[in-house]
Amino acid sequence: MLEAIELTKRYEDGELALDGLSFKVEPGEIFCMFGANGAGKTTTINLFLNFIPPTSGTALIEGIDVAKDPLKAKKHVSFVSENVMLYGNFTAIQNLDYFSRLAGKRTLTKKDYAQVLGRVGLQKEAFDRRLKNFSKGMRQKLGIAIALVKDAPNVLLDEPTSGLDPQSGREFLEILVQMRDAGKSVFMSTHDIFRAKLMADRIGFMKKGKLVMMKTAGELAHDDLTELYIQYMEEKPAAAGAA
Amino acid sequence: MLRDIIKKEILDNITSPKFVFTFLLCAVLILLSVYTGVANYGAEKKEYTAAVALNKKNLESQPNYSSLAGIGIKVNKAPQVLGTVVTGIEEDVGRVAPVNIAADPNLIESKYGSNPVFAVFGSLDLMFIVKIVLSLFAILFTYDTIVGEKEKGTLKLALSNDVPRDRLILGKAIGGYISLLMPLLVPLVLSLIILLVAPNLALSGQDWGRLLLIFLMFFLYLSVFFSLGLFISARTSRSSTSFLILLFIWVVFVMVIPKVAVITAGQVRPIPSVHEITAKKDAFLQQVQVEGQKGIREWAVKNQPAKGEDPKVFQEKFRQYIQDYQQELTSKIDENNAALERDYQLRKKAQQNLAVNMSRISPASALTFGSMTLARTGVDEYDRFLAAVRSFKPIYTKWVNSKLGQSINFQTGQQSTIKIDDMPQFTLEPESLGKSLVRTLPDYVLMVIMIIIFFVGAYVSFLRYDVR
């Protein structure tokens, strides 16, 4: 489970990136967070990964305070970032092997890696190819494979579908649904309204570091999400009061 | 985990084009430098042996001691076997020191002096390659160690796991250093084999010890730039910035500081020019010669042979007087020259020490001075050789003066033929390894301090590094 309690981040230059953000992602749930660039989505993920310390508030992974015990907390989370470049001189399997080992998975074989890479939709002939010539979509798939191999109960995704072609996007969506079905808590920051509507259990809108709206999939069933997005991002003033 | 990080770092480096490029260039440059070093040493040794034999023949062919005293002797500086890896100043400063009654010995006939085209290109010795080329490679291997991973997004991905930052930087440092050493080790081992089997090289046990200490210094020097690269990489957020900063520091360390230190030392502790000293010596020599002629005339007037006195007795007295007087005047000249020289050398030494100590802020200077001291091809060895020749000069002049006095037959005016069997021979005791080591200790210590400072800087910076 992922939980943010009154999470606030003010940078040294005085910019308030997060302002008392609170939410919870339950096991078996996909939470999609929307927001314009600079709204605080990535800052939220950075706080959950302890890349930056919070000014106040708490980020909890499986009930562990990330700021207090980051290494223990990070055992329980996988991360997929927006632009995964990875190691260009390594093959897909070598990249996967390295990050699996960092995640503490040392007993996996080449066969296991091949299975995961197949699962994310990477073509077999690409397994042993150097990443230098991989497209962004292929790299993204590998990034997801890295998260899958770790098999942590929580997954943080930072705009993972940007740059994916429709086919890859669909495969990605299926994987996320599988993760949810396996009981994982999935937090995804995204601009991809179309895919979010297809898979999200809950959706939140952020503006200027605040969560300005939060709705469940049921509540959104009859709403036009695109319209809602534009409305919240452009018109409504920032205000606390998540639904 | 540490092993995985090290393994990944090595694999990432050795599969990169920069590794292949470094390996090939290192192999070509190192082997070429050692090969040319060995070939040069062989040629210089041959030249030295021939010069010594020629000098001896030349001395033996002199018709008398007057002529021998006139031309003097030539002391040849033997080439240093470790000049094969650290040429030092050997090719700039001359290989022959003429010793005669009148002038003060100095080294002349340098390789660059006799063939200036060599000076244009300089020597491509192993120390030069390490100092210039390999230090740049160390920068090339490290400038993006941290910041490059940030740009690729792999740092975030790695640290999203329960990986302690200290372990990550340690693994990257160890792996990166091993990767840097790999392209060096193969050509270096091959170089050692060349030195071992080269027919005209005979390295003593002490020479091998010196060589290993030189190699240790090379590794420390590269470690300074490696840890510096790591440090700057952990202080910047763009790899292009990191590279530019490192290049700037490299230029300051390798080019600016050594030159500025020498110029500053010259300003702070000025010394008279060599010409000034020579002019003073010449003036004194002239004065003594005038006094000498006057003295002889006065003696001749004062000691006119009495009527009926056997002329042989007078001649014997005159010969003894000339011999003693010549010796007295020579000693006077030597003493004056020695005093001038002592003062000059003291001031020069003070200036040198200031320049050396100031330039030691730069690891490049520490490497230059340290490796030259160990290879016995540096300024200190030159000073030692020259000091030994200058100490030898009075011994030689005493011998030649005594021979001169004894050989003149005043009745016939003829001189006996020369015999040089009992001529004093110049010897130079090589500096012991222990002494050299003591003198290079500051260089080792300085490099180790720099490595520690830069590595701790990199370590602390990485613990606080913004990975976003």
Tokens of B207: 């020479």
How far apart (Å, rounded) are the C-alpha atoms in residues A192 and A157? 12
Contacts of B161 in chain A (CB under 8 A): 74-75, 99, 102-104, 150
One-letter amino acid at B381 equals E
Q: Taking a C-beta distance cutoff of 8 angstroms, is the pair A147, A155 a contact?
A: yes
Q: Do A46 and B16 touch (CB under 8 A)?
A: no
Contacts of A143 in chain B (CB under 8 A): 157
Contacts of B155 in chain A (CB under 8 A): none
pLDDT at A97: 93
**Residues in chain B, how many?**
468
Contacts of B164 in chain A (CB under 8 A): 71
Mean pLDDT value of segment B118-125? 69
How far apart (Å, rounded) are the C-alpha atoms in residues B333 and B423? 21
Give the minimum alpha-carbon distance from B157 to chain A in angstroms, rounded to a whole number: 7
Q: Which residues pair with A7 in a beta bridge?
A: A21
Tokens of A86: 């990875």
Nearest to A23 by CA among A236, A170, A212: A212
Tokens of A70: 């980051």
- B54 vs B99: which has the higher pLDDT: B54
Q: Which residues pair with B259 in a beta bridge?
A: none
Nearest to A174 by CA among A161, A158, A162, A163: A161
Is the minimum CB–CB distance between A189 and chain B shorter than 8 Å?
no
In a domain, A150, yes or no: no
pLDDT at A141: 86
In a domain, A218, yes or no: yes
For residue B458, name the pLDDT band (cuts at 50, 70, 90). very high
Is the minimum CB–CB distance between B46 and chain A shorter than 8 Å?
no
Q: Do B11 and A90 touch (CB under 8 A)?
A: yes
Q: Which residues contact B14 (CB under 8 A, 6 or more apart)?
A: B179, B182
- C-alpha torsion sign, points B392, B398, B404, B406: negative
One-letter amino acid at A185 equals S
How far apart (Å, rounded) are the C-alpha atoms in residues B200 and B374? 21
In a domain, A189, yes or no: yes
One-letter amino acid at B93 equals V
For residue B413, name the pLDDT band (cuts at 50, 70, 90). low
Directed axis angle between helix B205-233 and helix B433-463, to 10°?
A: 20
Mean pLDDT value of segment B265-277? 85
- Write out residues in chain A with pLDDT < 70, as ranges: 233-243
Q: Return the HEC string of A20-63.
A: EEEEEECCCEEEEEEECCCCCHHHHHHHHCCCCCCCEEEEEECC
Question: What residue spans of B360-432 are helical by DSSP H?
Answer: 363-375, 379-407
pLDDT at A238: 47
Contacts of A75 in chain B (CB under 8 A): 161-162
Nearest to A184 by CA among A69, A79, A70, A35: A79
Q: Do A89 and B162 touch (CB under 8 A)?
A: no
| 3-class DSSP assignment, residue B17 | helix
Q: Average pLDDT over chain B, rounded to whole?
A: 85
Q: Taking a C-beta distance cutoff of 8 angstroms, is the pair A34, A213 a contact?
A: no
Instruction: For Cα atoms A173, A174, A178, give the angle at the middle one, nearest 5 degrees.
Output: 120
Q: Which residues pair with A10 in a beta bridge?
A: A16
Q: Do A89 and B152 touch (CB under 8 A)?
A: no
> Which of the residue ranges A11-20, B11-20, B240-249 has the most confident prediction, judged by mean pLDDT?
B240-249
Q: Do A94 and B11 touch (CB under 8 A)?
A: yes
Cα A35 to Cα A159, A209, A230, B42: the distances in Å are 11, 9, 10, 76
DSSP string spanning B71-100? H-EEEEPPPPGGGGT--TTHHHH-SEEEE-
Select from A50, A51, A52 the residue whose CB has the most chain B CBs within 10 Å, as the one to mutate to test that interface.
A51
Contacts of B466 in chain A (CB under 8 A): 51-52
Tokens of B272: 């008279």
For residue B110, name the pLDDT band (cuts at 50, 70, 90). low
Contacts of A78 in chain B (CB under 8 A): 160
- C-alpha torsion sign, points B248, B251, B254, B256: negative
In this structure, the number of other CB atoms found within 10 A of the CB of residue B206 comes to: 13
How far apart (Å, rounded) are the C-alpha atoms in residues B451 and B227? 6
Give the minimum alpha-carbon distance from A204 to chain B in angstroms, rounded to a whole number: 23
How far apart (Å, rounded) are the C-alpha atoms in residues A196 and A161? 10
Q: Do A71 and B162 touch (CB under 8 A)?
A: yes
In this structure, the number of other CB atoms found within 10 A of the CB of residue B154 comes to: 22
Buried residues in A27-44 as b, exposed as e (16+ CB within 10 A): eebbbbbbbbeebbbbbb
pLDDT one-digit tens code per residue, A59-118: 999 889 998 999 999 999 999 888 778 888 899 999 999 999 999 888 888 888 998 998
Q: A89-98, B55-64, B99-108, B267-276: lowest mean pLDDT where?
A: B99-108
How far apart (Å, rounded) are the C-alpha atoms in residues A176 and A202? 14
pLDDT at B117: 63
Q: Do B154 and A86 touch (CB under 8 A)?
A: yes
Q: Do A49 and B159 touch (CB under 8 A)?
A: yes
Mean pLDDT value of segment B415-421? 73
Q: Taking a C-beta distance cutoff of 8 angstroms, is the pair B330, B401 a contact?
A: yes
One-letter amino acid at B26 equals C
Residue numbers of the domain that contains A48: 1-74+185-243
pLDDT one-digit tens code per residue, B157-186: 999 998 999 999 999 999 999 988 888 888
Nearest to B354 by CA among B444, B268, B427: B268
Phi first, then psi: give them for residue B463, nearest 5 degrees: -60, -30
One-letter amino acid at B189 equals V
| Lookup result for tokens 């990169």 | B16
Q: Taking a C-beta distance cutoff of 8 angstroms, is the pair B95, B49 a contact?
A: no
pLDDT at B114: 63
Is the minimum CB–CB distance between B467 and chain A shorter than 8 Å?
yes
Is the minimum CB–CB distance between A157 and chain B shorter than 8 Å?
no
Give the minimum alpha-carbon distance from B16 to chain A in angstroms, rounded to a whole number: 6
In a domain, A192, yes or no: yes
pLDDT one-digit tens code per residue, B334-377: 888 888 888 888 888 888 888 888 888 899 999 999 999 999 88
User: Regarding beta strands A185-189 and A16-25, do their DSSP bridges make them parallel or antiparallel, or are they unpaired?
Assistant: unpaired
Give the minimum alpha-carbon distance from A181 to chain B in angstroms, rounded to a whole number: 23
User: Regarding beta strands A29-35 and A202-207, do their DSSP bridges make them parallel or antiparallel, or are they unpaired?
Assistant: parallel
pLDDT at A234: 67
Tokens of B314: 């007078």
Q: Taking a C-beta distance cutoff of 8 angstroms, is the pair B323, B237 a contact?
A: no
Q: Which among B12, B151, B159 has the least Cβ separation from residue A90?
A: B12
Cα A30 to Cα A94, A149, A197: the distances in Å are 30, 19, 11
In a domain, A115, yes or no: no
Q: Chain centroid to CA A114: how far?
A: 23
pLDDT at B448: 95
Cα B305 to Cα A50, B295, B299, B311: the distances in Å are 111, 17, 11, 7
Is the minimum CB–CB distance between A76 and chain B shorter than 8 Å?
no
Is the minimum CB–CB distance between A69 and chain B shorter than 8 Å?
no
**Residues in chain A, how many?**
243
In a domain, A169, yes or no: no
Q: Which among B154, B162, B467 has the least Cβ separation from residue A51?
A: B467
pLDDT at B293: 86
Checking if the pLDDT of B276 tops 70, the result is yes
Q: Do A98 and B4 touch (CB under 8 A)?
A: yes
Global pTM? 0.83
Q: Counting one residue from A and one from B, how many pairs have CB atoms under 8 Å apart?
A: 72
Question: Looking at residue A34, which CATH number applies to its domain?
Answer: 3.40.50.300
In a domain, A93, yes or no: no
Is the minimum CB–CB distance between A108 and chain B shorter than 8 Å?
no
In a domain, A165, yes or no: no
Tokens of B96: 């022959």
- B298 vs B66: which has the higher pLDDT: B298
How large is the C-alpha radius of gyration of chain B? 30
For residue B113, name the pLDDT band (cuts at 50, 70, 90). low
pLDDT at B441: 93
| 3-class DSSP assignment, residue B109 | coil
> Which of the residue ranges B35-49, B108-122, B363-377 has the most confident prediction, judged by mean pLDDT?
B363-377
| Lookup result for tokens 């952020």 | A206
**Domains in chain A, number:** 1
How far apart (Å, rounded) are the C-alpha atoms in residues B214 and B137? 19
How far apart (Å, rounded) are the C-alpha atoms in residues B254 and B362? 7
H or E element: which one contains A3?
Answer: strand A2-10
